[in-house]
Structure 1
Amino acid sequence: MKALLCKTLGGPEDLVIADLPDPVPGPGEVRVRVTVAALNFFDTLIIAGRYQVKPDLPFSPGAEAAGIVEAVGPGVEGLRVGERVIAHLGHGTCRETILARREALSPIPDGVGDEQAAGLTVTYGTSLHALQDRAALRAGETLVVLGASGGVGLAAVELGHAMGARVIACASSADKLEAARAHGADLVLDYSEENLREGLRRLGGAAGIDVVYDPVGGDFSEPALRSLNWKGRFLVIGFAAGPIPKIPLNLVLLKGIDVQGVHWGAFVRNEPEAHARNQARLLALVAEGRLTAKVHGVYPLERAAEALGVLSRREAVGKVLLRP
C-alpha cells in the first residue's frame, strides 16, 4: 500500500509517499481500505512537532477517514467485510489501508457519502460535544460562533442551527460569512470591518447572547465573553489566533458566566459510549439532510502538501480531504 509519511518533523513539503505492506488485523482490530482521509488544522502542527500529540517517527498524518472493511481480526463483532465505516485514529489515516480498533469505527448509513462521512468525526464531534454536552444549548437561545468558516466553526454553525438556536456567525471576510450564512447562520459579523464587542451588542439585541463558541482565542475572546447574558456559557475550543487569552475573572463573577473547556479527545477516551451515541446522531443528521458536512476540496495523496497549505493559510471553508 501507499502511505503518506512524516519521516522528519517539518512542513508539508517534507512529507514523502512510501510503499508499505498491508497490515494484518490482530485481536479486536479491523483492516479498512481508505477511500478518503480527512485533514485538520492540527495536522500541520503534528508534522512540525508543535502539537500535544507527538507520534513516533515515521507516522502518517490524518486523524479520520472513511473506508471499506477489508478484514476483521479475532473477537471483532458488529462489522462485516465490505461494510462502509468512518474511523477515528488521532493520526495515521493518510494511507491506502489502516488498522483500527473496533471501538474507533462507526458504520456509515445509506444515504451518506464517504466524502461527507470522512470529515465528520473531529470537527462535528467537537462541536456537538461542545454545544450539547457542555453548553446544553437550547432551542431559541442565541449562539455566537467565532471563526465561523473554519472546520469546527462551520460545524458549530450548522449544528447550532439544527438544534434550533439563533446563530450569529463571526469571521474575517465577506466570503467566509457567506459560507456561514449558507450553512444556517441567521446573522453575520465581519470582525475585520467592525468592532466585535459593538457588533455583538448590536446583533444580540434585546435577547442578548447565551453561548459563545470560541476556537480562535487571542484578542477576540474577552470582548465575546463580555457580550454574554447572565449565566451565559463560554466554550473554549482552541487558540487558532495564536495567543492564549487571559480573561479577567471578575467578568465571570459579575455575570455568573460558566467558562467551559472542550477537550474532545479526552471526552472520547473517558466517555466512549457517549462518543458513540454522538457519532450515531451526527450520521443520522447527515442522512436526514440536516447537516451538509461541507467539503472544501478533495486532493490526491501526491498533492498532500497543497492540501495542508490550504489549512495552514486558513483558506479552507469546510473539510479538506485526501484520496489515497
Structure 2
Amino acid sequence: MSASVGGFHSTGIRQLQAGVERLTSEKFDTRIARFERLGLQLFSVANCFVSFGQLSGRSGGNEKSITEMEALFCDGIPCTDEILVIPDLNHHPEFAQSRFVAGPPFIRFFASHPVYAQDGQLAGCLRLVDYQPRQLDESQRLLLTDLAALIENELALGVMLQTHNELLKQNRVLKREAMIDPLLGTWNKSAIIRSLSIEMERCAKAQKPLSLLFAYPDQIDHIRAAYGLAATDQLLIRVVSRVRSCIRPFDALGRFGSDQLLIVLPGASHLVAFAVAERIRIAVMAHPEWVGDAEKNLTVCSGVVSTDTFPEADPEALISLAEKALLSARTAGNNSVVQAAPAQPDMII
C-alpha cells in the first residue's frame, strides 16, 4: 500500500514538474492570445485585444492593415478603472471624429474592461471593437468581467511561475554550495563520493574502466606546525591549482580529508591513472611555493587504483584500496606514486 502511494506521489511530482516546465516554456504573448480568441468567439466581434500598454506594432507596423488600425484606435483611448461600453461611436461626442471611426476601417462599437495585477494596480485592459452598433446586455457584461478575471489569473500564474523559477535557481545554487569545499572550491567529501558512485555506474554500463587517485602534499604537516593554518590553507589552494592543470575538465576533484585530495578519473585505465599521478607529482615538484618569507620545495605522494585491476570493487572498496596505496607511498618516502595491485598483500579486498 505504501509503495503504491509513494509511486503515485512521485508520479504526481513528475507530472507537476512537467506542467510547470511546459508553462514556463510558453511565451507570454501566446498565453494572452488565447484570451483574445476567446473574446472573439464569446462576443462575435471584429476583434478582441488584451492591452498592457501599446497594441500598435503587433501586426508588423503596417498602418494599412485592419488589425493595425484597430490597435491604433484602441491605443488612443487610455485604460481606466471604469468599464467603458460605447454602443455607437458615430454618436459619441469625443470619438465620432476619430479618423478610424469617420474613415476606414469605420469602427462603430468599442468596449473596455480593466485588468488588474496581483497588487490591485491597473495592469491593462480587455478591449472589443466591431463595425456594427451594438449593446452588451447584462449577461454579456458579466462574461466580459469573467474573461478579465481569467486574464488576471493568468497574470498571477505568470508571477507564481517566475517566483518558482527563481526559487529553483536559488535552490540549485544552494545545493551546489553545500557540495563545494569553501576554501578550495573543489567538491567536498560527500560530493566527491557521490560523484565516484555515479561515474562508476556510468563506466560500468559503457564497459569502460575508472580510476581513483589520492594525492597528499608531503610537507603539509611541517608547514602547518611552523607557519600556522592560514599559510597551510594558501598552500593547499596552490596545490589544487597545480592538480587541476593536470586533469581533464570532466574529471572530479574533491577534498576527502583535511589535506587529502581525491580525484575520480572516468574512462582511465590503471596505466593512464599512473601517468596522471606522475604528471601531478612533477607539476608540484617543479614549482616551489613561497610560504611566509621562505621558498619551499613541495612534493606529493599519490595512491592509485583502477577498476581494470579490481573489476569487482565497489566505491567503498576502491577508496580503501587507494588509501592503502597512498599509505604505502607515504611510507616509502616523499614524492612517490604507488598503484594498488592484487599481488600486494595489503591490497587484497
TM-score of the aligned structures, taking structure 2 as reference length: 0.22
Higher helix share: 2
Higher strand share: 1
Bigger relative contact order (CA 8 A; separation at least 6): 1
Q: TM-score, normalised by structure 1?
A: 0.23
Choose 1 or 2 for highest CA Rg: 2
